């Protein structure tokens, strides 16, 4: 705060007032206190003189009751605590509270506040019939002390209000003065963030600020010209680097795919050797069975699974050849997903509940029905394996979505249908998440997974011009989302 212009301005005003306000307070206190004391002393002396004059008009033969009445009038009409008339050795004394011990006149207490007894003593000479008498009165100082305390409180409040107002005004003026600099700073940051066409100006009547803005604008123009030249050279070099990296990446992928292809070819032959008798004997059994037999439908599912397994083998070979352009046709993905969910519901994985969440029935995408079926099957299998023996919930969803612009995952703008598979398993850390689509990468023990499932999904999604993303964290499960181009 104190490093800003407004803060510095306020700090200076604060320091000035910290020095000046105490001196101003003590000076005002001295003036007000002196005025109240002088006013009090002047009033009571005038009043005492009037009473003395009335006493001088009396005669020796005057009744004592009249003199006492005059003295009592002093107590009733002012702040008097006691009054007495001294005539030689004779003293006529009256006081404010009868019955209490008689107040003593202090012959040396003639200053306000002197003596510490809150009483101001006054002695006034009275001449009656050539004799010298003395009128001695004691006045209560406490009302004046209270007035002085109240005056001090008001002075403090006034000075405090003035201090707050001055500090507020100083901060306001500081911010007002800093506003052109702040605007110039914001424009400079926008230029630094890439808005290089923005001109730097300062709307201010201060000549130094205008000169600063002109110098910065001249510097910006020179830097922009130099930056454009450098960017042109860097873009040319970046294109060369990207082309080299692309060629190196294709070479690396070709080598990796050659390794995968060698294994996939051997696996494909072995699996086909096992699938041929399964498919053949199933077809023979179906020919011998009555279509109304209960086992007939089960054998049809076995035959369909064998055929689908054969297609899976063919899909694995995607990694052994260059990508081949497929003719994509509109496919009802909702029907495909429902078939996959129904299949896993019949299998009844231990402790796993399959949940279907399909938003609408007219969800058609550009793709291949067999590939879509295999993508959904592999994702569900991966989710079930991730939950393991502890079980959980696997939610398979379909929903329409629209991308307004290309996002960080590389999803182009357009209309999509999103296939989502969510599990409540153990989740993945960031390092594992970055490797899950690599062939043969798996976190499972030997014999529990080959590491081809998600890599096959990734290859198929790319061949269908789709995008697959995954969100996961340790202990929070995982969510796979596949974006397919919507048909129509």
Residue 247 has pLDDT above 70, yes or no: yes
Among 39-53, 326-340, 444-458, 462-476, the minimum mean pLDDT is found in 444-458
**pLDDT one-digit tens code per residue, 67-88:** 778 777 777 766 777 888 888 7
Q: Which of 75-84, 163-172, 190-199, 430-439 has the highest mean pLDDT?
A: 163-172
Task: Tell me if 112 sits within 8 A of 144, measured CB to CB.
Answer: yes
Residue 407 has pLDDT above 70, yes or no: no
| Structure tokens given for 215 | 């110098």
Helix axes 294-316, 453-463, angle to 10 degrees: 80
Torsion on CA atoms 147, 151, 156, 161, rounded to nearest 10: 130
Share of the chain above pLDDT 90, in %: 9
Q: What is the pLDDT of residue 157?
A: 93
Q: What is the pLDDT of residue 151?
A: 92
| Structure tokens given for 31 | 């003036």
Q: How many residues does the chain have?
A: 488
Mean confidence (pLDDT) of the chain: 79
Helix axes 142-192, 5-56, angle to 10 degrees: 170
Among 169-173, 323-327, 369-373, the minimum mean pLDDT is found in 323-327
- CA neighbor of 377 nearest in space, from 291, 308, 283, 474: 308
Residue 446 has pLDDT above 60, yes or no: no
Q: State pTM to two decimals.
A: 0.40
**465 or 312: whose pLDDT is higher?**
465
Q: What is the pLDDT of residue 481?
A: 92
Beta bridge partners of 330: 366
Using DSSP, state whether 140 is helix, strand or coil.
strand
Residue 285 has pLDDT above 80, yes or no: yes
| Structure tokens given for 147 | 């007035």
Residue 387 has pLDDT above 50, yes or no: yes
Helices (H), 289-320: 294-316
pLDDT category at 197 given cuts 50, 70, 90 is confident
Query: What own/partner pairs with CB < 8 Å and gap ≥ 24 does 273-282 have?
Result: 275/306, 275/309, 275/310, 275/313, 278/302, 278/306, 279/303, 279/306, 279/307, 279/310, 282/306
How far is C-alpha 320 from the chain's CA centre? 52
Q: How many CA atoms are closer than 13 Å to the CA of 310, on its beta-carbon side? A: 13
Q: What is the pLDDT of residue 321?
A: 47
Q: What is the pLDDT of residue 250?
A: 61
Q: What is the pLDDT of residue 397?
A: 92
Residue 324 has pLDDT above 60, yes or no: no
Task: Tell me if 138 sits within 8 A of 121, measured CB to CB.
Answer: yes
**pLDDT one-digit tens code per residue, 291-307:** 888 888 888 888 888 88
Among 27-36, 69-78, 131-140, 163-172, the minimum mean pLDDT is found in 69-78
What domains, with CATH codes, occur in the chain? 5-165 (3.30.450), 323-485 (3.30.565.10)
pLDDT category at 13 given cuts 50, 70, 90 is confident
Rounded to whole angstroms, the Cα distance separating 436 from 434 reads: 6
How far is C-alpha 122 from the chain's CA centre? 72
Average pLDDT over residues 441-450: 54
Average pLDDT over residues 273-284: 84
**290 or 3: whose pLDDT is higher?**
290
Residue 171 has pLDDT above 70, yes or no: yes
Q: What is the pLDDT of residue 322?
A: 45
Q: What is the pLDDT of residue 220?
A: 80
**pLDDT one-digit tens code per residue, 122-149:** 888 888 777 788 888 888 888 888 988 9
Torsion on CA atoms 408, 411, 414, 420, rounded to nearest 10: -110
Average pLDDT over residues 471-478: 88
- CA neighbor of 479 nearest in space, from 405, 407, 393: 393
Average pLDDT over residues 245-251: 76
Neighbour tally for 275: CB within 10 Å = 16
Average pLDDT over residues 233-239: 88
Q: What is the pLDDT of residue 37?
A: 87
Task: Tell me if 56 sits within 8 A of 127, measured CB to CB.
Answer: yes
Q: What is the pLDDT of residue 158?
A: 92
Task: Tell me if 188 sits within 8 A of 217, measured CB to CB.
Answer: no
| Structure tokens given for 24 | 């101003």
**448 or 56: whose pLDDT is higher?**
56
Q: What is the pLDDT of residue 396?
A: 92
- CA neighbor of 315 nearest in space, from 256, 368, 254: 368
Average pLDDT over residues 22-31: 90
Residue 227 has pLDDT above 50, yes or no: yes
Q: What is the pLDDT of residue 482?
A: 93
Residue 439 has pLDDT above 70, yes or no: no
Average pLDDT over residues 373-377: 90
| Dihedral pair phi/psi, residue 294, rounded to 5° | -65, -35
Average pLDDT over residues 252-265: 65
pLDDT category at 390 given cuts 50, 70, 90 is confident
């Amino acid at each position: 705060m104190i490093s800003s212009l407004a803060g510095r301005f306020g700090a200076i005003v604060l320091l000035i007032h910290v020095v000046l306000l105490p001196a101003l307070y003590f000076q005002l206190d001295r003036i007000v206190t002196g005025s109240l004391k002088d006013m009090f002393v002047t009033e009571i002396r005038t009043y005492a003189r009037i009473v003395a004059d009335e006493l001088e008009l009396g005669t020796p033969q005057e009744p004592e009751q009249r003199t006492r009445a005059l003295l009592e009038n002093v107590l009733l009409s002012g702040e008097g605590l006691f009054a007495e008339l001294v005539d030689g050795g004779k003293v006529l004394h009256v006081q404010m509270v009868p019955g209490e011990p008689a107040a003593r006149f202090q012959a040396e207490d003639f200053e306000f506040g002197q003596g510490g007894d809150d009483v101001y003593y006054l002695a006034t000479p009275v001449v009656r019939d050539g004799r010298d008498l003395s009128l001695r009165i004691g006045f209560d100082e406490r009302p004046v002390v209270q007035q002085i305390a109240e005056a001090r409180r008001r002075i403090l409040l006034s000075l405090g209000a003035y201090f707050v107002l001055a500090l507020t005004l100083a901060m306001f003026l500081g911010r007002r003065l800093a506003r052109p600099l702040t605007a110039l700073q914001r424009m400079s940051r926008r230029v630094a963030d890439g808005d290089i066409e923005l001109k730097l100006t300062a709307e201010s009547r201060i000549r130094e600020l205008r000169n600063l803005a002109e110098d910065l604008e001249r510097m910006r123009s020179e830097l922009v010209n130099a930056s454009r030249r450098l960017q042109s050279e860097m873009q040319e070099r970046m294109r060369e680097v990207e082309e080299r990296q692309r060629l190196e990446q294709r070479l690396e992928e070709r080598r990796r795919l050659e390794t995968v292809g060698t294994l996939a070819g051997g696996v494909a032959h072995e699996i086909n050797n096992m699938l041929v008798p399964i498919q053949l004997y199933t077809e023979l059994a179906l020919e011998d069975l009555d279509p109304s037999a209960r086992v007939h439908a089960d054998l049809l599912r076995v035959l369909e699974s064998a055929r689908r397994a054969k297609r899976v083998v063919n899909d694995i070979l995607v990694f052994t050849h260059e990508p081949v352009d497929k003719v994509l046709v509109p496919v009802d993905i909702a029907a495909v997903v429902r078939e996959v969910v129904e299949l896993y519901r019949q299998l009844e994985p231990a402790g796993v509940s399959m949940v279907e969440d399909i938003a609408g029935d007219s969800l058609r995408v550009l793709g291949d029905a067999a590939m879509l079926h295999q993508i959904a099957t592999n994702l569900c299998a991966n989710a079930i394996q991730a939950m393991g023996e502890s079980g959980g919930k696997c939610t398979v969803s379909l929903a329409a979505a629209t991308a307004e612009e290309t996002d960080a995952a590389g999803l182009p703008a357009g209309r999509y249908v999103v296939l989502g598979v969510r599990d409540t398993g153990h989740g993945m850390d960031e390092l594992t998440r970055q490797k899950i689509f690599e062939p043969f990468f798996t976190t499972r023990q030997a014999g529990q997974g080959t590491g081809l499932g998600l890599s096959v999904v990734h290859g198929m999604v790319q061949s269908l011009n789709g995008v697959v993303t995954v969100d996961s964290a340790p202990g929070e499960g995982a969510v796979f989302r596949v974006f397919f181009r919507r048909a129509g």
